Amino acid sequence: MARHQHRGQSAAGSQRQLRVGELIRHELSDMLSRGDIHDAVVETHMITVPEVRMSPDLRLATIYVMPLGGHDEQQVIEALEQNKRYVRGEIARRINLKFAPEIRFRIDERFGEAERIEKLLRTPEVQRDLGIDKDDS
């Protein structure tokens, strides 16, 4: 059975999904900045949390993270996964939700993708094509 998007609901999710995702993002960022997650890898890395995506039923939170400079991505994900139970419990305690969502951590690929596109745009072939387009106008 096909699910249809309701009017006013974006592809990123409903207003409620966005709001809950932002609450979780804020709380996790707060936990990371205060050093509440006691893990050697997590404590020695600056980790940003650019986005949290919630499932429509709010039972799954996909947390996108990026260590500063993109170093040791796999180690950071593994450390966060090992501390998932603690993080979930803290989020449940800090945010008043009917259910504590399951959480999963993913590396935020947007920074790398933006850098790849930027490099591509600076290649001589693209620069040449852009110059040709300007002359044709």
Q: What is the pLDDT of residues 17-54, one digit of tens each?
A: 999 999 999 999 999 999 999 999 999 999 999 999 99
Give the model's confidence band at 82: pLDDT under 50 very low, under 70 low, under 90 confident, else very high: very high
Q: Check pLDDT > 70 for residue 2.
A: no
- Asked if residue 137 belongs to a domain, the reply is no
The more confident residue out of 38 and 2 is: 38
Domain extent for 96:
15-108
What is residue 3's predicted lDDT score, i.e. its pLDDT? Answer: 47
How distant, in Å, are the alpha carbons of 21, 51, 126 from that of 109?
18, 11, 23
CATH number, domain of 33, equals 3.30.300.20
- Asked if residue 132 belongs to a domain, the reply is no
What is residue 112's predicted lDDT score, i.e. its pLDDT? Answer: 67
The number of distinct structural domains making up the chain is 1
What is residue 10's predicted lDDT score, i.e. its pLDDT? Answer: 52
The more confident residue out of 11 and 52 is: 52
The pTM of the full predicted model, rounded to 2 decimals, is 0.73
pLDDT digits (tens, 9 = 90+) for 104-123: 999 988 766 667 777 778 88
60 close to 101: Cβ distance less than 8 angstroms: yes
Tokens of 106: 């993913």
- Asked if residue 22 belongs to a domain, the reply is yes
- Asked if residue 133 belongs to a domain, the reply is no
Residue 7, SS3 per DSSP: coil
What is residue 39's predicted lDDT score, i.e. its pLDDT? Answer: 92
- Asked if residue 124 belongs to a domain, the reply is no
- Asked if residue 121 belongs to a domain, the reply is no
- Asked if residue 49 belongs to a domain, the reply is yes
- Asked if residue 130 belongs to a domain, the reply is no
How far apart, in whole angstroms, are the C-alpha atoms of residue 127 and residue 137?
Answer: 16
